[in-house]
Amino acid sequence: MQLTNRQALTLDEFTIQQLRNFPNATGELSTLLREIGLAAKRINVEVNKAGLVDILGSIGAVNVQGEDVKKLDEFANNEFIKVLQHGISCAGIASEECDDIQIFDDEVSCNSKYVVLFDPLDGSSNIDVNVSIGTVFSIYRRTSEIGSPCTLNDFLQPGVKQIAAGYIIYGSSTMLVYATRRGVNGFTLDPSIGEFCFSHPDIKCPTNGNVYSVNHGYFFNYEEGVKKYIDQCQHKAGEQGGPYSNRYIGSMVADVHRNLIKGGIFLYPASKQQPNGKLRLLYECNPLAFIVEVAGGQATDGKQRILDKQPIALHERTPFFIGSKDMMEELEKCLI
Ligand SMILES: O=P(O)(O)OC[C@H]1O[C@](O)(COP(=O)(O)O)[C@@H](O)[C@@H]1O
Ligand SMILES: [Mg+2]
Ligand SMILES: [Mg+2]
């Protein structure tokens, strides 16, 4: 039985082929996506042998968010920075694990047009227990002058200005999914050749679904509208007749990936303890909102479209609701 599709384009081949549609393109974005693919493969190798080598557990420090930094968080962060700094397309980065932006000030980087924001490992609480985790990234064209070092303002752009965004999910297989305004495509890592291969063309988010993803433990701390919607999910019959199913992995990339493919909604609302929610606008919510919107879904903070929010600070947090269009519209009615 032939299980590997040998016809599938690799990520590198795919991005090079895409260039044929844009004869004037410089190829910088394609190069950047391939560099991100390389960082992802390096991280994947470590994630896959995490129980065998001394890479589980914490480094014994907290990050700028006040959260415990795991060894794999640090490894993934360093790997991303190294690959992007050695590459030719990125002028600087912002990361969940770095207090401040990192400006690459060598000549090649100063002449690069893109900045990249990322959450190197998403789902930190799942790292040590072999549950799916992810990486999220967001790409903007810089607004500062090419030829000079990038600036903070290059990173504080609303999500609607993203040129591309994506995620890697280290799950039962490892996948890289990325979106440009033209569409969302998915690539599965084929371990036999060590390449991401084109497996999920033109991903569309189903307009409806049966799954809602939320941390029920905080239920009594959510605002009334959110509680009303969750209550509705528990009582309302989904397409298959029964009530909606609750699925909450605790790795947002994995939860949103499932809902993107099968239909569903993910909620991380504000609560009494976390009045701005938990998730970070720039490198968690914006990229996922961009991908899901290009795929036909929606994403809001409960009041406003995520992609329209003007960021004020690098690590700002926001309540986050994202998913299938019809489910998002139902939620909106409850939040009024
Ligand atoms: O345990 P909680 O409060 O439900 O939070 C889980 C959420 O926090 C996150 O782990 C935050 O991401 P990091 O692990 O990158 O900090 C999300 O992936 C996940 O959805
Ligand atoms: Mg995260
Ligand atoms: Mg993280």
Q: Residues 49-62: pLDDT tens digits?
A: 877 767 777 778 88
The mean pLDDT value of the chain amounts to: 93
Cβ atoms of 219 and 227 closer than 8 Å = yes
Q: Is 73 in the pocket of ligand 1 (CB under 6 A)?
A: no
Give pLDDT, residue 127: 86
124 is in an annotated binding site: yes
The helix-helix angle for 224-235 and 325-335 (nearest 10°) equals 130
Domain count within the chain: 2
Compare 81 and 20 and report the one with higher pLDDT. 81
Residues 143 and 37 in one domain: yes
pLDDT level of residue 241 (50, 70, 90 thresholds) = low
Task: Tell me the average pLDDT across 113-134.
Answer: 94
The reply to whether 66 falls in a domain is yes
Question: Which atom of ligand 1 lies at the shortest distance from residue 255's CA?
Answer: 20
Task: Tell me the average pLDDT across 77-82.
Answer: 97
What's the gap in Å between 81 CA and the centre of ligand 1? 22
Q: What's the domain range around 230?
A: 211-335
What's the gap in Å between 111 CA and the centre of ligand 1? 35
Least confident of 4-13, 91-100, 173-182: 4-13
Task: Tell me the average pLDDT across 248-268.
Answer: 98
Cβ atoms of 319 and 269 closer than 8 Å = yes
pLDDT level of residue 231 (50, 70, 90 thresholds) = very high
Distance of alpha carbon 297 from alpha carbon 294, whole angstroms: 7
Question: Which atom of ligand 1 lies at the shortest distance from residue 134's CA?
Answer: 18
Give pLDDT, residue 238: 60
Give pLDDT, residue 9: 95
Distance of alpha carbon 100 from alpha carbon 98, whole angstroms: 5
CATH (domain of 113): 3.30.540.10
The reply to whether 238 falls in a domain is yes
Domain end among 200, 222, 248: 200
Give pLDDT, residue 63: 82
Give pLDDT, residue 179: 98
Q: Is 286 in the pocket of ligand 1 (CB under 6 A)?
A: no
Percentage, residues of the chain above pLDDT 70 = 96
Q: Is 74 in the pocket of ligand 1 (CB under 6 A)?
A: no
Domain end among 149, 165, 200: 200
The reply to whether 6 falls in a domain is no
Give pLDDT, residue 193: 95
The helix-helix angle for 11-19 and 28-48 (nearest 10°) equals 170
Least confident of 4-13, 17-26, 146-155: 4-13
Q: Which two tokens stand for residue 333?
A: 């009615």
Residues 283 and 219 in one domain: yes
CATH (domain of 222): 3.40.190.80
The reply to whether 155 falls in a domain is yes
202 is in an annotated binding site: no
Q: Is 159 in the pocket of ligand 1 (CB under 6 A)?
A: no
Task: Tell me the average pLDDT across 289-315.
Answer: 98
Question: In a mutational test of the pocket of ligand 1, which residue from 47, 124, 247, 253 has the highest number of ligand atoms less than 8 Å from its CB?
Answer: 124
112 is in an annotated binding site: no
121 is in an annotated binding site: yes
* Whole-Å CA distances, 49 to 42, 46, 56: 12, 5, 10
281 closest CA partner among 307, 246, 252, 243: 307
Q: In this model, does residue 223 exceed pLDDT 80? A: yes
Q: Is 215 in the pocket of ligand 1 (CB under 6 A)?
A: yes
Q: Is 41 in the pocket of ligand 1 (CB under 6 A)?
A: no
Give pLDDT, residue 68: 80
Distance of alpha carbon 185 from alpha carbon 8, whole angstroms: 13
What's the gap in Å between 168 CA and the centre of ligand 1? 16
Give pLDDT, residue 22: 84
Task: Tell me the average pLDDT across 258-284.
Answer: 97
Compare 134 and 23 and report the one with higher pLDDT. 134
* Whole-Å CA distances, 60 to 50, 67, 73, 79: 18, 11, 12, 19
pLDDT level of residue 81 (50, 70, 90 thresholds) = very high
For the full predicted model, state whether its pTM sits above 0.90: yes
Q: Is 252 in the pocket of ligand 1 (CB under 6 A)?
A: yes
Q: In this model, does residue 12 exceed pLDDT 60? A: yes
Domain end among 200, 226, 248: 200
Compare 1 and 332 and report the one with higher pLDDT. 332
Residues 184 and 120 in one domain: yes
Give pLDDT, residue 237: 66
